[in-house]
Amino acid sequence: MIRPHRLRTIAIAAVFVAAIFAGLTGRAYAGTEKHTSRNPTPDPADMQAALDAELFYDILLGELSLRSGDPGAAYALMLEAARRSGDEQLYRRAADIALQARSGDYALKAVQAWKEAHPESREANRYLLQILVALNRIEETPQLLRQELAQASANDKNALLLMVPQLYARASDKTLAAQVVEQALSEVVTDPATAPAAWVAIGRMRLAAKDYAGALAAAQRAQELAPTSDGAMLLALELLENGQTQAQALVDRYLAGQPKAELRMAYAGVLLNLQRNAEAEKELQAVTRAKPDFPDTWLLLAALQLQKNQLNDTEKSLQRFLELLDKADVDAATRQRGQTQAYLMYAQIAEKRHDYAAAESWLKRIDNAQDMFSVQRQRASVLAHQGKIEQARALLRNLPGATPQAARLKLQAEVQLLQEMQMYREAYEVQSQLVAQNPQDDDLVYDLALLAEKAGKPQVMEKLLRELIAHRPDYYHAYNALGYSLADRGVQLEEAKRLISKALEFAPGDPYITDSLGWVEFRLGRHDEALRLLESAYKTRPDAEIAAHLGEVLWSIGERHRALSIWKEGRRLNPDNETLQSTLKRLGVRL
């Protein structure tokens, strides 16, 4: 006797097979002389040729095998059926079965057979392209990418080009992927209709390969061909985020036209990440005037105002954001995500006002499980600022999640909390646990080195950074950090200068590295050169720490009025900056 659940499985498989048969028979007879209005009934002999009983059986048995947990047999039966019938739907089904079983090699075999049977099939070509990229067989993809572009409609080509970097995002050899894509786009890059998008795609591939000069050149070429290109602007913003200050000219050129509010807001977001807060605020204010009913602008403006401790203005912006969000035509998930961000900011406002009950009240409004980590992180901050540091740390440690990623996030949250509370020795100990769990993560090692110095362990910092440089000669942040540390301590100044100059070779014009070089020149007694470098750095990136250094140089050469002005501006940018605070205290200056 067949069990009821088995009956249902057979019924499901039969429905699937029937759907395939409908496609097979439709394609088998479409366009034949027998399938006409005068003779609408297919000839049984032709039906037998197109779809025999054995084929039907193989497909049905393949589906049943898959549902009974035997994907290997299902794959073999489906691929054999595909080869016998030549049907694309069956080739795709065989490939999908292999992919579901996480067998890339077998999926590749099925798609290669599909491609051989139907060389002009765009779907087979796309499947093969995606699988080869997933298997990191990048060098085999140029012709496939060319075919995909050739078969795309004129309206779709530019959109497809902009998706190319995403297609190759998982490639392990980013340099090879960039070279392969550039080779594949050799024709479309000369077509005026597609050249701007092609150059953007090439630029993003070069950026992924850390070829910053090449990416900048591609962005410049794209903008030359299409001055209002959104893609060129977005690429320029990515370059800015990666410390390539030369991309600023591209951004300025785009903004001089009629910029889209969304891209202007994206630029403001980049400026915020780069701590260019005054410029970010200018851009956001421009967007609120041009598009006052755009909710996200008000949320980003609120984040900036909160960072500047403009609490009343932050509340007004959040209120406006929530009003607009309530009227916006967005899905429930987007609405909930926006509300969560607003409530978290309201909680931070309350915390800054030392109204911890109000902060907790705002946090209780958030009931989205996906945001619980952020909520508990904020709740821990509230506890810590009430002096309940151990309770706060316990809260973070007991957050749900037993995966390695969850464990990492919890430790990182604890490190961040301890740093905020200036408990650097404790933060160093927790960061050491993170590194022990992730010894190959260079970023975690770098962060441990910085914490070692703050925890009063300069020798440990120096050892970690020298090891990091030996392991990763292109990790320029380590050169800069070690050079700055030596300069700040007034030791090995010539070596410090060499290290910082090496960092600048990797990131020309980076304002923070330029600041380090200016500081070491000051320590070496070269005040004119120090002033030149620090003024350049501060102009590029108004920052409280750079302001501290620039002010001290001005103070030392007798320009005390100007030094006070720079320091006051730095304090407005970040009143809690430790370097600025210690500089003023050391020099006995009251602002």
Question: Could you tell me the pTM of the whole model?
Answer: 0.65
Q: For the residues of 178-223, what is the DSSP string, one character each? A: HHHHHHHTTTGGGSTTTHHHHHHHHHHHHHHTT-HHHHHHHHHHHH
DSSP reduced 3-state for 428: helix
Residue 516 and residue 420: Cα distance in Å, rounded? 24
The answer to whether 83 touches 113, Cβ cutoff 8 Å, is yes
- pLDDT tens digits for the chain (591 residues)? 334 344 444 454 555 555 555 555 444 434 333 333 334 444 444 444 445 666 776 777 877 777 878 888 888 888 888 888 888 888 888 888 888 888 888 888 988 998 999 999 988 888 889 889 889 999 999 999 999 999 988 889 899 999 999 999 988 899 999 999 999 999 899 999 999 999 999 999 999 999 999 999 999 999 999 999 899 999 999 999 887 888 999 999 999 988 888 899 899 989 888 777 778 888 998 899 988 998 999 999 998 888 878 899 999 999 999 999 999 998 988 999 999 999 999 999 999 999 999 999 999 998 876 778 888 989 999 999 999 999 999 999 988 777 888 889 899 999 999 999 999 999 999 999 999 999 999 999 999 999 999 999 999 999 999 999 999 999 999 999 999 999 999 999 999 999 999 999 988 888 899 999 999 999 999 999 999 999 999 998 888 999 999 999 999 999 999 999 999 999 988 888 999 999 999 999 998
Strand, helix or coil at 350? Answer: helix
SS3 content of the chain, % helix, strand, coil (to 5): 75, 0, 20
Q: Which residue has the tokens 């915390």?
A: 351
| Count of Cβ atoms closer than 10 Å to residue 54 Cβ | 11
Rounded CA-CA distance 232/253 in Å is 11
CA–CA separation, 258 vs 254, rounded Å? Answer: 8
